[in-house]
Amino acid sequence: MDKHQEVTNELEPINPTLYLKAIEVGKEIYETSNSKAEAAREIFKLLIDEPREIVLKAFIEGASITVKGSPTYYYNIRRKMRKQQRSNN
C-alpha cells in the first residue's frame, strides 16, 4: 500500500453523525427512486463541507456507486452546483 492510500483509509469525517445520516438518506432515495444520481446529489448537499474522499466514500456506501464511478458523480454534481450558484448571483 502506498502512502496516499494510507492517508485516504485513515481519513475520518469532520461530522461523523452527519456522514451516517447522509448515507441513510442516500440509501432511502436510491431504494425509492432507483436513481444513483439523485441519491448522490442529496449526499453531496449534506456533506458539502467534508473532504472529497469522504464524499466519495459516502457515494459508494449510500448510493451504490462504484469506486471508479464515484469521482465522476462528484465532479458532475460539484460542477452543476457551482453553475447554479453563479447564475443565482
Q: Could you list the mean pLDDT of each consecutive 10-residue stretch along the chain, which spans 89 residues?
A: 50 94 97 97 96 96 96 97 88
Distance CA 44, CA 36 (A): 12
Residue 40, exposed/middle/buried by CB under 10 A (0-12, 13-18, 19+)?
buried
89, part of any domain:
yes
Structural domain harbouring 74: 51-89
Grid coordinates in use for 23? Answer: 448515507
39, part of any domain:
no
Please give the model's pTM, rounded to 2 decimal places.
0.85
70, part of any domain:
yes
- pLDDT for the residue numbered 85: 87
Q: Helices 36-46 & 70-88, crossing angle to 10 degrees?
A: 60
Instruction: Count up the domains in the chain and report the number.
Output: 1
2, part of any domain:
no
55, part of any domain:
yes
- pLDDT for the residue numbered 9: 57
12, part of any domain:
no
